[in-house]
Amino acid sequence: MSTIRVDAKVVMLGKESVGKTSLVERYVHHRFLVGPYQNTIGAAFVAKPIQLGEKVVTLGIWDTAGSERYEAMSRIYYRGARAAIVCYDLTDSSSFQRARFWVKELQNCEEQCKIYLCGTKNDLITADRSLRQIDYHDAQDFAEEIGAQYFETSSKTGNNVGESDIVMLRTLDLSQTAVFIHEESGVDLGQKKDSYFYSCCHNN
Protein backbone atom coordinates (compact mmCIF):
# COMPACT_ATOMS: atom_id res chain seq x y z
CA MET A 1 0.00 0.00 0.00
CA SER A 2 1.47 3.37 -0.97
CA THR A 3 1.97 6.10 1.55
CA ILE A 4 0.35 9.42 0.89
CA ARG A 5 2.67 12.21 1.87
CA VAL A 6 1.36 15.58 2.89
CA ASP A 7 3.43 18.61 3.83
CA ALA A 8 2.09 21.49 5.87
CA LYS A 9 3.98 24.67 6.61
CA VAL A 10 3.25 26.07 10.04
CA VAL A 11 4.71 29.28 11.47
CA MET A 12 5.05 30.29 15.11
CA LEU A 13 4.66 34.01 15.75
CA GLY A 14 4.60 36.17 18.86
CA LYS A 15 6.53 38.52 21.08
CA GLU A 16 9.93 37.45 22.38
CA SER A 17 9.94 35.14 25.38
CA VAL A 18 6.27 34.15 25.09
CA GLY A 19 7.36 30.52 24.76
CA LYS A 20 7.24 29.66 21.06
CA THR A 21 10.43 27.58 21.11
CA SER A 22 9.31 25.83 24.29
CA LEU A 23 6.00 24.96 22.68
CA VAL A 24 7.76 23.41 19.70
CA GLU A 25 10.17 21.55 22.00
CA ARG A 26 7.30 20.15 24.02
CA TYR A 27 5.32 19.20 20.96
CA VAL A 28 8.16 17.62 19.00
CA HIS A 29 10.45 16.26 21.71
CA HIS A 30 8.04 15.98 24.66
CA ARG A 31 10.39 17.93 26.89
CA PHE A 32 10.75 21.28 28.59
CA LEU A 33 14.22 22.75 28.61
CA VAL A 34 15.25 24.39 31.84
CA GLY A 35 18.15 26.77 32.16
CA PRO A 36 18.77 30.33 31.03
CA TYR A 37 16.41 31.70 28.41
CA GLN A 38 18.00 31.76 24.96
CA ASN A 39 16.32 33.98 22.44
CA THR A 40 15.89 32.70 18.92
CA ILE A 41 17.88 34.48 16.25
CA GLY A 42 16.24 34.58 12.85
CA ALA A 43 14.21 31.40 12.92
CA ALA A 44 14.47 27.70 13.68
CA PHE A 45 12.94 24.88 11.69
CA VAL A 46 11.64 21.51 12.75
CA ALA A 47 10.05 18.81 10.63
CA LYS A 48 7.57 16.63 12.46
CA PRO A 49 6.21 13.60 10.64
CA ILE A 50 2.94 12.16 11.85
CA GLN A 51 1.29 8.94 10.70
CA LEU A 52 -2.42 9.41 10.13
CA GLY A 53 -3.89 6.19 8.77
CA GLU A 54 -2.40 5.81 5.28
CA LYS A 55 -1.16 9.37 5.33
CA VAL A 56 2.12 10.71 6.61
CA VAL A 57 1.72 14.37 7.37
CA THR A 58 4.97 16.27 7.77
CA LEU A 59 4.60 19.50 9.64
CA GLY A 60 7.33 21.96 8.67
CA ILE A 61 7.30 24.24 11.68
CA TRP A 62 9.06 27.60 11.47
CA ASP A 63 9.79 28.98 14.93
CA THR A 64 10.42 32.69 14.37
CA ALA A 65 12.36 35.08 16.60
CA GLY A 66 10.05 37.25 18.66
CA SER A 67 12.37 40.21 19.01
CA GLU A 68 11.18 43.23 17.02
CA ARG A 69 14.69 43.35 15.56
CA TYR A 70 13.72 40.33 13.48
CA GLU A 71 10.27 41.52 12.47
CA ALA A 72 11.15 41.87 8.78
CA MET A 73 12.63 38.36 8.80
CA SER A 74 9.56 36.84 10.39
CA ARG A 75 7.54 38.13 7.47
CA ILE A 76 9.61 35.91 5.20
CA TYR A 77 8.78 32.86 7.29
CA TYR A 78 5.03 33.25 7.31
CA ARG A 79 4.89 33.47 3.51
CA GLY A 80 2.96 30.52 2.15
CA ALA A 81 2.20 29.17 5.62
CA ARG A 82 -1.07 27.32 5.80
CA ALA A 83 -1.31 27.68 9.55
CA ALA A 84 0.07 30.18 12.04
CA ILE A 85 0.20 29.71 15.78
CA VAL A 86 0.15 33.21 17.18
CA CYS A 87 1.39 33.02 20.77
CA TYR A 88 1.13 35.36 23.70
CA ASP A 89 2.08 34.98 27.35
CA LEU A 90 -1.01 34.82 29.58
CA THR A 91 0.88 36.78 32.23
CA ASP A 92 1.99 39.61 29.90
CA SER A 93 -0.62 41.93 28.41
CA SER A 94 1.91 43.59 26.08
CA SER A 95 2.42 40.22 24.40
CA PHE A 96 -1.31 40.11 23.64
CA GLN A 97 -0.97 43.46 21.84
CA ARG A 98 1.88 41.95 19.86
CA ALA A 99 -0.30 38.96 19.00
CA ARG A 100 -2.91 41.37 17.63
CA PHE A 101 -0.20 42.91 15.46
CA TRP A 102 0.70 39.52 13.96
CA VAL A 103 -2.94 38.65 13.39
CA LYS A 104 -3.39 41.88 11.44
CA GLU A 105 -0.28 41.14 9.41
CA LEU A 106 -1.53 37.69 8.52
CA GLN A 107 -4.98 38.97 7.65
CA ASN A 108 -3.47 41.57 5.33
CA CYS A 109 -0.74 39.46 3.75
CA GLU A 110 -1.64 35.76 4.07
CA GLU A 111 -5.36 35.49 3.73
CA GLN A 112 -5.26 31.73 3.25
CA CYS A 113 -3.31 31.14 6.43
CA LYS A 114 -5.38 29.61 9.19
CA ILE A 115 -4.75 31.37 12.48
CA TYR A 116 -4.55 29.71 15.90
CA LEU A 117 -4.32 31.91 18.96
CA CYS A 118 -2.31 30.39 21.79
CA GLY A 119 -2.06 31.71 25.35
CA THR A 120 1.11 30.24 26.87
CA LYS A 121 2.45 29.43 30.35
CA ASN A 122 -0.90 28.49 31.87
CA ASP A 123 0.93 26.60 34.63
CA LEU A 124 1.77 30.03 36.09
CA ILE A 125 -1.93 30.91 36.16
CA THR A 126 -2.79 27.56 37.73
CA ALA A 127 -0.28 28.30 40.49
CA ASP A 128 -1.44 31.88 41.00
CA ARG A 129 -4.59 33.17 39.34
CA SER A 130 -3.68 36.79 40.03
CA LEU A 131 -0.93 36.51 37.41
CA ARG A 132 -3.43 36.30 34.56
CA GLN A 133 -3.38 39.53 32.55
CA ILE A 134 -5.65 38.52 29.70
CA ASP A 135 -9.12 37.31 30.59
CA TYR A 136 -9.99 33.96 29.04
CA HIS A 137 -13.26 35.29 27.62
CA ASP A 138 -11.60 38.38 26.10
CA ALA A 139 -9.12 36.13 24.30
CA GLN A 140 -11.90 33.79 23.25
CA ASP A 141 -13.93 36.75 21.92
CA PHE A 142 -10.93 38.01 19.98
CA ALA A 143 -10.35 34.55 18.52
CA GLU A 144 -13.99 34.35 17.44
CA GLU A 145 -13.81 37.83 15.90
CA ILE A 146 -10.86 36.77 13.72
CA GLY A 147 -12.18 33.27 13.04
CA ALA A 148 -9.35 31.63 14.93
CA GLN A 149 -9.26 28.70 17.29
CA TYR A 150 -8.10 29.56 20.79
CA PHE A 151 -6.18 27.41 23.23
CA GLU A 152 -4.17 27.90 26.40
CA THR A 153 -1.09 25.76 26.93
CA SER A 154 1.78 25.02 29.25
CA SER A 155 4.98 23.75 27.72
CA LYS A 156 6.26 23.17 31.23
CA THR A 157 3.56 20.66 32.17
CA GLY A 158 2.55 19.69 28.63
CA ASN A 159 -1.01 20.88 29.27
CA ASN A 160 -2.87 21.23 25.97
CA VAL A 161 0.26 20.62 23.93
CA GLY A 162 -0.34 16.89 23.77
CA GLU A 163 1.80 14.04 25.03
CA SER A 164 0.87 12.47 21.76
CA ASP A 165 -0.13 14.50 18.73
CA ILE A 166 -3.78 14.72 19.67
CA VAL A 167 -4.20 18.31 20.78
CA MET A 168 -1.86 19.87 18.26
CA LEU A 169 -3.41 17.79 15.50
CA ARG A 170 -6.83 18.99 16.47
CA THR A 171 -5.68 22.56 16.69
CA LEU A 172 -4.03 22.35 13.32
CA ASP A 173 -7.11 20.83 11.72
CA LEU A 174 -5.03 18.36 9.79
CA SER A 175 -8.13 16.60 8.64
CA GLN A 176 -8.79 19.66 6.49
CA THR A 177 -6.85 19.95 3.28
CA ALA A 178 -6.77 23.73 3.77
CA VAL A 179 -3.50 23.54 5.67
CA PHE A 180 -1.74 21.31 3.17
CA ILE A 181 0.80 22.59 0.71
CA HIS A 182 0.79 19.58 -1.58
CA GLU A 183 0.00 15.89 -1.71
CA GLU A 184 2.04 13.17 -3.38
CA SER A 185 1.24 9.50 -3.64
CA GLY A 186 3.74 6.73 -3.11
CA VAL A 187 6.45 8.77 -1.44
CA ASP A 188 8.07 7.06 1.51
CA LEU A 189 8.98 9.40 4.32
CA GLY A 190 12.31 7.55 4.81
CA GLN A 191 14.87 9.27 6.97
CA LYS A 192 12.99 12.57 7.17
CA LYS A 193 11.81 11.41 10.60
CA ASP A 194 12.02 13.98 13.33
CA SER A 195 14.81 16.01 11.84
CA TYR A 196 15.37 19.10 13.92
CA PHE A 197 17.82 21.74 12.97
CA TYR A 198 18.30 25.42 13.32
CA SER A 199 18.45 27.60 10.29
CA CYS A 200 20.18 30.13 12.43
CA CYS A 201 21.04 29.60 16.06
CA HIS A 202 20.17 30.53 19.59
CA ASN A 203 21.87 33.20 21.57
CA ASN A 204 22.46 33.65 25.29
**Binding residues vs ligand GTP (CB under 6 A):** 14, 16-22, 37, 39-40, 65-67, 120-121, 123-124, 154-156
For 13-24, b/e burial (b = at least 16 CB within 10 A) is bbbbbbbbbbbb
Task: Pick the closer one to ligand GTP by CB: 40 or 171.
Answer: 40
What residue ranges in 65-199 does DSSP mark as E strands? 83-89, 114-120, 149-152, 182-185, 196-198
Task: Pick the closer one to ligand GTP by CB: 162 or 180.
Answer: 162
Task: Pick the closer one to ligand GTP by CB: 21 or 171.
Answer: 21
Between CA 82 and CA 18 the distance in angstroms is 22
Task: Pick the closer one to ligand GTP by CB: 15 or 82.
Answer: 15
**Residue 178 Cβ vs ligand GTP, minimum distance, rounded to whole Å:** 26
Question: Which helix or strand (DSSP H or E) is residue 6 part of?
Answer: strand 4-14
**Residue 173 Cβ vs ligand GTP, minimum distance, rounded to whole Å:** 23
**Residue 20 Cβ vs ligand GTP, minimum distance, rounded to whole Å:** 4
Asked whether 134 and 143 are in contact (CB, 8 A), the reply is no
Which residue in the shown chain puts its C-beta closest to ligand GTP? 66
